[in-house]
Structure 1
Amino acid sequence: MPVLCQGGEGRGSCPPWGLPGPWISNPSYCSLTTNTVVPIPHCCPLPSSKDLPAPPTPPFFGLLLFQEPVTFEEVAVYFTTLYRDVMQENYENVTSLGKGYCPLSSWKRKRRDKVHTKEREILRKTTTQEEILMGKRKNTCTECGKNVCDYSALIKHQQLHTGERPYECSECGKNFTRRSHLINHQRIHTGERPYKCSECGKSFTQRSHLTNHQKIHIGERPYECSECGKSFTQRSHLTRHQTIHTGERPYECSECGKSFNHSSALSEHQRIHIGERAYECKECGKNFTQRSGLFLHQRIHTGERPYECCECGQTFSHSSHLSNHQTIHTGERPYECRECGKSFTSSSALSEHLRIHTGERPYECHECGKSFRFNSALFQHQSNHTGKRTHKCSECGKSFTTSLALSEHQRIHAGEGL
């Protein structure tokens, strides 16, 4: 409810309505609840509805229609404080007319101060009516101090601290803090990928994933490493990359003790121990631990090579292959082995090289127990057990279990043609 005017005696303009009328200094009482009465100063007679002009529209006035419940304490504190201010001004106006007034006695002053102290304490703990009117309600997390845009966002944010995850997937039982996260997750089970790239046709479960992917086509890589200058399309990729320089590898495999710089890398690694390769290529039967690995592999069959070197025009199926290739032009080999000093163009090449020094052979064949340094070597070996001969000679049609065997065979045709 807006206050219609200021205190004082006489006649004049009554904001915000602009209606003349005598100003009355005596307060009336407005019952907000059944058992509670709060003094509210009525400084002018209330006009009838037919005499009221159209309401003014200063910046705050649109906020007078409250959008959320207001407690009695908020209203009481605001109007009690207003009453005190108006009465003080009225007393001063009377004094200016030559009519003296008696100051409050000491015991009344103490009583007033005690009441005002209580009011200030309530003001400190609660959002006041003024804050609501002016849109200043604070939405700050008491746990971490983060400010959010509104109260509902604050409730959602606080679920991070409480661990509350009320939205459960009926397929796999995984829980989420937000319904939108659950909806995005369920697309894994349904196979729905509604966001499609207009450049290459690749589709995604979330719009944000499509946005990040499109940076590949436009060449945008806004996140640059301050150590080596390498740039990335996503901040998370930069954060993961920086652990190469810091040497931080906080995620350790409980099976073999190998550590990783990212939780997803650990999850991928653990599939080696359990033998899980859930994603199979329909063209050649090769299996992969990740959907992304299968997707990249399929470019071998489709011939898709979307990543082009701006220096020489050579194209690649993987962005990482392009990055590694570009070091040929720059001569950069930023990844150095601390054991022997040999340097490499990529972190993966360094990791594979380090197995020579450590003797690590993490890829084990479940058929015969033989282990290998590289996943590709294990895959080629397993074809001996399965009998699959996926590598076919284009000259004579003969097939082989490994690409190396095919390469050796093709030298025969090359020698015949000399």
Structure 2
Amino acid sequence: MDKQIKEICRLCLDPSEKSSCSSIKDLAMRSKLKTVFKFELPEEESFPCEICHECSSKVDEFHSFHETVRLNQDQLKAEPADLNALQYVEIKQEPSPCAAKQDDESPASQNDIKDELSDSEEEDARKPLRRKRKQRASAAKTVTKMKQARRNDPDKDKNEKVAEENKKIQEFLNISCKFCSEKFDSFDRLQKHTRKSHNSRGSLTCCNRVFYKKCRIIEHIDSHLNPNQFLCGLCNKSYCSQNSLDLHNLRKHCINEEKPFKCEKCGQGFPKEWLLKVHYTTHIPAECTICHKVLASASTLKTHMVTIHTGNSKHICDTCGQEFRTKLGLERHIKQHMGIDPIERVQCHICSKWVKGKSCLKIHIKTVHSEENQSVTCDVCHQIYPNMRALGCHKRGVHAEEKFECEICGKKFKRSIYLKEHRASHTGQSLYSCDVCGMMTNSNANLYSHKKSKHPEEWLEARKKAMANAYG
């Protein structure tokens, strides 16, 4: 090895006149180097192996600090709850060989250095250690006070939360027994009373919903205070609880591949097992007890009974009296009254006509452009219609059975809306009102004729708007 390279310090590569005091070949030094450095220092013949005095002192200092921290952490793991029992551990740095050599060579110089240290300098050297001890003592006192406070009043936080919840419930609901009308100042006492006196489960009712758990009551009250608390950020639909919102996101905004429960018949995925079990019922055929027609499922049978045999549509628009089979259809209709188009319009690729939604487009193509469409004749009045759909509309409007009977005078009607308007003539109730002059009537047809004759400009404007919404 070149003499010039041999004299270089292995760590700092400083070729200055620093006297080397250790070597990386020394076992004790190699152990310290492995602790301080994550990388290895290989013993190569072409590399220097000596370590200067300054680098050796730094390695000793870092190794001492590393061992101190390690022992302190071992104490925390052994006694994590008792901070008072912890003791400050300090690893004293062992003198390096070069330091011992310097002590042997010049003991007088070491004594001179000690003599030069003043009392103030010694005091300054002790300050950091005292500061650490004070911090540990302060932390231990704080933890002790917190433990003592919990021992004195372990249920303080819980009691405060319960009192706050009871106050919120009292502000919005009447906490009284549904059996004996006795009032209570908390939901917990109501539950105890109903369980003991009536052998029943205590509950509160709001918005036609019955709640048996306090957490659900609080959640429902919060939905009144902040209606958008459980709002879907993708479709802006609001829900009454976090669980309902989470389930909505899993069902509507999660791709089918990410849903773990798959239907063996149709391959549709579901986020919950119980949803899959409910879905299986849609694959069980059901037979109509009146006309003996076999429907695809129980839900399809229910729709069939409402539309074909009972005609009892419970969803009626308060503005125009139009009936709908489903609540969703009524909500879409109400949005149209408000000037909001709830369904995206699509264009027919054959005749370029705009219709509302894909379902209407499918019906349009089937009834207008299908090659299977052939003229059909009504078996009652022998009138000819272009397809079966048109014939069905004709029969339901003209040849339907008058099965809706007025309980007051016995008169029968083909549709429930006609019975509702007729019944209003007995009760004197006004079902409709003109949005221009406020004229009241119980007939939708009369309201239409009134607006057309008395307010032709407004009627024409509303008709143009309806046509624009329908055909784009």
Do the structures match in fold with TM over 0.5?
Answer: no
Q: TM range, normalised to the smaller chain?
A: 0.3 to 0.5
